[in-house]
Amino acid sequence: MVLQVLHALHLLRPFLVTPGFYTFVEFIKIVFRQKDFMENPSSVTYRKIIHIDMDAFYASVEQRDNPELRGKPLAVGGSPEGRGGVVATASYEARKFGVRSAMPSKQAKQLCPEVIFVRPRFAVYKEVSQGIREIFSRYTDLIEPLSLDEAYLDVTQDKQNIGSAIEIAKLIKQAIKEELQLTASAGVSINKFVAKIASDMNKPDGLTFIGPSAIEAFMEELPVEKFFGVGKVTADKMKKMGLFTGADLKGLPEEEMIKHFGKAGRFYYLIARGIDDREVQPNRETKSIGAEDTFAYDLTEIDEMYIELDKIAQTVCNRLQHYQLKGRTITLKIKYSDFKQITRNQSLTEPVNDFKTITDIAKKLLLATDPESKRIRLLGVTLSNFGEMAARQKQTDHPDQLLLF
């Protein structure tokens, strides 16, 4: 038995990371899964993971509830008038013109002059999301919500003994369409990472299955910017290093990945090989929510900094309301032209998620750093310390329902 485990460790060596990335229990599970595969490849039981992502959720709810908006370019978010707001979600009609979430409303109006702006109705979206959650719970209790409109489901052992993750995904999509008059896209695979990517492949109203035998080739062909967790800055850095696809990432030793990308390098090393042993976590708790922006040129004027802070604060505000969260601690992140970085924060007695409080405190923290004497490359705002709301969340029968659904 010891020799078998040692042999499994030897085979796993290219896929393992330095101690600390996996817990000891997770590590042993991977070892014995590899041992089972060596002894009897046909006996390996893969997890059945579904990632459900609603299609243009906010905008679709608005078009559902207001027939006059159907078929028209729609942006849910702040008005472009005055200093302008930020787009929370755009309908597919607006996306054809390049309108995207987190885009300044003024820019969205320039791209699509006919776009209609609608203020978000978060109470309505939460109610609809609860209906989506109820449909999920017919098939499994292993549900990990990521937001009001997105969740992972583990249906390895489903409640109705259907056995097929693809069939369950079809039934969920059908129920959402018939009962809520909305569409969702689904990704089905053996782990969370691949399932999430799959759900985005055939939107809207899509269903994509990527099986075990197809994962390696799929990951090798995937552009790095499509990797979940790889943002624009990281993707640009990878491309400058000659890393354009998953196959390119696989060619880089783990040590090099960690050297260039820090702790995230370990994750990239594994997912480039289609390895993701993270379990679906029904009790996942959000620790913080934030946003940041790296500017095309260094900011030197306080008015410019205030305008950018307003945009960032509005994005954070939208995300907080999306997740039904309020935070007590507001943190400002500043990166200067010499790449020196500082953070400043202020904690409040009561939790907040409103735009005015967030932007006022962010500007106050900025002023205290004597900003006009420096050149600013990046600004970021984060809210954390969710406090009593998180405590109440843990006491409910469905811990994530208050938080996300």
Query: Known catalytic residues?
Result: 150
Token pair 């969205």 in the structure block, residue: 108
**Of 161, 163, 183, residue with least CA distance to 172:** 183
- Distance between CA atoms of residues 238 and 13, nearest Å: 25
Q: Which two tokens stand for residue 194?
A: 């691949």
How far, in Å, CA of 221 to CA of 95, rounded? 26
CB 112 within 8 A of CB 82: no
Rounded-to-5 percentages of helix, strand, coil across the chain? 45, 20, 35
d(CA 60, CA 54) in angstroms, rounded, equals 9
Q: Are strands 74-77 and 87-90 parallel, antiparallel or unpaired?
A: antiparallel
Residue 274 gets the label, from left (phi > 0), alpha (psi -120 to 50) or beta, of left
Q: Which two tokens stand for residue 341?
A: 């970085």
Instruction: Give the whole-angstrom CA distance, residue 193 versus residue 227.
Output: 9
Q: Is the peptide bond before 19 cis (omega within 30 degrees of 0)?
A: no
- C-alpha of 389 from chain center: 21
DSSP-assigned beta bridge partners for residue 49 = 154, 189
Q: Between the CA of residue 100 and those of 87, 170, 235, 317, 368, what are the distances in Å? A: 7, 28, 19, 17, 34
Looking at residue 83, the DSSP 8-state letter turns out to be T
Hey, what are 307's tokens? 């305008």
Write down how long the chain is. 405
Question: What CA–CA distance (Å, rounded) separates 297 from 140?
Answer: 49
Compute, in degrees rounded to 10, the torsion defined by CA atoms 90, 93, 99, 104.
Answer: -50
Q: How far is CA 198 from CA 269, 335, 396, in A?
A: 19, 35, 32
The token pair that represents 393 in the structure block: 């969340």
